[in-house]
Amino acid sequence: MKIIIGIGNPDSKYENSRHNAGVICLDEISRTTGITFSEKKDLASIGRGYINNETVILAKSRSYMNNSGDTIKYLRDRFGIEVVDLLIIYDDMDLPLGKIRIRTSGTHGGHKGIESIINALGTSNIPRLRVGIGRPESEDDSILHVLGAFKKEEKLLLAETCGTVTEATLNILKHGIEWCMNRYN
C-alpha cells in the first residue's frame, strides 16, 4: 500500500494559493487515476483505488499547512504503513514555477509544513515531491507570495506541472522513486 498526500491549507480562501500546489496537483492525480475522495475525516479527505495492482490511498490534508504533521501521522498510524510508503506532494519556493524535484529524504528547508511532518514522524527520511512556485522579488513578501493566488499565466504553467507531477507519481508507483529521481530531477 502507498499513500500519496497533498498538503496545503483547507480554507476555501486558500484553494488556489501557491501554498496549495501540492493539493492542486493531487486533484490532477485523482482525475487521471479515477480515484475519488469519497471519505472525509477531520484530518484528511481520502480516496482509495488500485494502480499497477497495488492499493493506493490519495489523501488531501485538511489541517493547515503548519500542522501537516498531524495529518501525516494520523494516516501512517491508521493504515499501518512505513514512512517509506508515503509520498508527500507540496509547494517549494526554492524551485522555479514549473519545476519539480523528487527526494527520498532531506531537511525541511524552512517549509513549515515539512517541518511539522518531520517532527511528527521523528525522521527526515520521508519521500517527497516538491512543486516549484518560485520566490517573490522580496523576501519580506514570502508569506504573501505563498498565500497568494496563482496569476492567470502561472495557472497555465501549474496545469502543465501538475501533469508532470501525475506522470512522475505514476512512475514512482511503477518503477520506484530512485528511477524517477534520475528521470525527473
Q: Which residues are catalytic?
A: 19
Q: Are 14 and 147 in contact (CB under 8 A)?
A: yes
Which residues partner with 149 through β-bridges?
17
Q: How many CB atoms lie within 10 A of CB 148?
A: 17
Report in angstroms the alpha-carbon separations of 148 from 64, 98, 108.
15, 17, 21
Three cell numbers, residue 126: 520521508
Q: Give the span between the Cα atoms of 170 and 45, in whole angstroms.
A: 20
Longest dimension (CA), the chain: 47
